[in-house]
Structure 1
């Protein structure tokens, strides 16, 4: 059914949203501000500029935001340093198994992430799954972030596959909107913040985890031999 799979990264392939949220909440406390989970979730799935604007408003201005951002960066670096060779962000359940299964079937895979190209390479390289992907599209390579379709169009172009022949795996509302606008079918695997019902209703499928995708692999991703039959 699909010739290729294009994956979001943060909150989908890697469990990055939780440690980042925890770091921001702790940084807010150093400013004597109680940043709630619900308040922080307003930023999930947004482009960096939009997230910065929301957090600055919640924290009391640009100076407070910059103070907190410095604290967050330091906290995450400490986690990396204390990680005893473990990656900063762990891989999500089922991700490695799904990527291995797709590779075994000859399914072409790419990443379309709002993170920079360098961050994509570093994160996925640290988890030993980088070799499963043929193409990457990072947020630093396009003029407009998700929900604009540019990232997914770029990833499909680099794979040499028509968007209509690709399925996107996404966790966020803006990511799903971007993939749909690019002409892909979308499998939604919600993370911290569930997309609203109108977006869920447009999804090709909704899963609890990437592990659950394994049952659908034979139908969604036929092998070359099956396509010739």
Structure 2
């Protein structure tokens, strides 16, 4: 039915949203500010420039934001001092990618992270080899929900957007994929997309594990040795 799968990365393939949120909450405390989960969730799925404005407002201005950024970076760096990946793989991701590869399904990543960050993160969880193409936020003029990232990923695969399924966790990501002409499978993470976006989804899953049962219908493809 579909020729290719295009994946978001943060919150979908890697469990990055939780440790990043925890780091920001801890950084806010160094400024004597109690940043709540609900306040932080305002920035999940937003482009960097938008999230910077919101966080600066929550933390008391640009100087406070710069202090918090430095603290967040230190905290996240400490987490991988034992040699483990900075962000662990999400449940079901490795299994799904291996199954798609076995079916001969072409895969790409369309992420607001930079191209270098994409490759580093995916290599750290040993799934980089499953992907043929990448589209990073540093390669397009506008971030999600603009469709540019998904259009670029499909173009690099050489597959029409209508022949692709996008796997997404966020509202902006889902809107971007829909605007680009892809079908969207939503796997919610920290912040569930609103009902209006869920209603437009091709399917909604609790985890990537649940996608396995749908592969024979979604990606009938040719099995490869």
Q: Distance in 2 between matches of 1:95 and 1:223?
A: 19
For 1:1-229, list aligned pairs within 5 A: 1-81=1-81, 84-224=82-222
Q: Distance in 1 between matches of 2:125 and 2:212?
A: 20
Secondary structure of residue in 2 paired with 1:102 = helix
Residue by residue over 1:42-78, the C-alpha shift from the partner in whole angstroms, topping out at 9 and shown as x without a partner, is 0000000000000000000000000000000011011
Q: Distance in 2 between matches of 1:80 and 1:92?
A: 17
Q: Distance in 2 between matches of 1:103 and 1:65?
A: 42
Unaligned ranges ≥5, structure 2? none
Query: 2:185·2:205 contact (CA, 8 Å) conserved in 1?
Result: yes
Query: Structure 1 residue runs of 4+, over 3 Å off?
Result: none
Q: Distance in 2 between matches of 1:34 and 1:195?
A: 25
Unaligned ranges ≥5, structure 1? none
Q: Displacement, 1:224?
A: 3.1
Q: CA RMSD in A?
A: 0.7
Q: Displacement, 1:91?
A: 0.3
Residue by residue over 1:162-181, the C-alpha shift from the partner in whole angstroms, topping out at 9 and shown as x without a partner, is 00000000000000000000
Q: Displacement, 1:85?
A: 1.9
Query: 2:3·2:221 contact (CA, 8 Å) conserved in 1?
Result: no
Equivalent pairs counted in the alignment come to 223
Secondary structure of residue in 2 paired with 1:144 = coil
TM-score normalised to structure 1 length:
0.97
Q: Distance in 1 between matches of 2:85 and 2:78?
A: 12
Residue by residue over 1:7-54, the C-alpha shift from the partner in whole angstroms, topping out at 9 and shown as x without a partner, is 000000000000000000000000000000000000000000000000
Q: Displacement, 1:223?
A: 1.9
Q: Distance in 1 between matches of 2:66 and 2:2?
A: 44
